[in-house]
Each structure stands twice: as structure tokens, then as C-alpha cells.
Amino acid sequence: MNPINYARGLVDEFEGTQRSGDKEREALVRESLTWVAGELDKVNPDSLRDELREMYESAKQGVADALATKPKRASAKTAE
């Protein structure tokens, strides 16, 4: 598994859940983002080619930005 590509995909999916308001999916993606953040920390960016290093930096920043947002809470539905 390539953590750089996986992280980039998760960031895109996270942004989609933000737009759609799917709070349950957002929570699941947020968990995966937390996991992949640790995997990205294991990558040595100095060993990457320039273009891969740029992708790595972009993925790492995207994950950090996504995790820095407050989780949206599902509102309680009231019976009418």
C-alpha cells in the first residue's frame, strides 16, 4: 500500500463528505486519516524523487488540514 496515494484519496473523500454533509462517512474517513497520518510519518521524504516528495508534502498537509477541522456532529432528530 502506498500511503501517499492513499492519503491523497482520503483527503478527496473527506472533502466530499464535508460538502455532502454525510457525518457518518466523515467519521469513518477521519479514522482512516488518523491512521494514514502515522503511516506518512514513517516515510523518509529525503529518499523520494522530487515529484514524489511534492506529492508526499501535499498529502501530509492535506491530512493535517483535514484532521485540524472540527468533526461535524449529527444533529438529534426530534419526532414531530
Condensed to tens digits (0 to 9), the pLDDT of residues 34-63 reads 999 999 999 999 999 999 999 999 999 999
Q: How many CB atoms lie within 10 A of CB 15?
A: 14
Residue 78 lies in a domain: no
Residue 74 lies in a domain: no
Residue 16: give the domain boundaries.
3-68
Q: What is the pLDDT of residue 78?
A: 41
- pTM confidence score: 0.82
Residue 75 lies in a domain: no
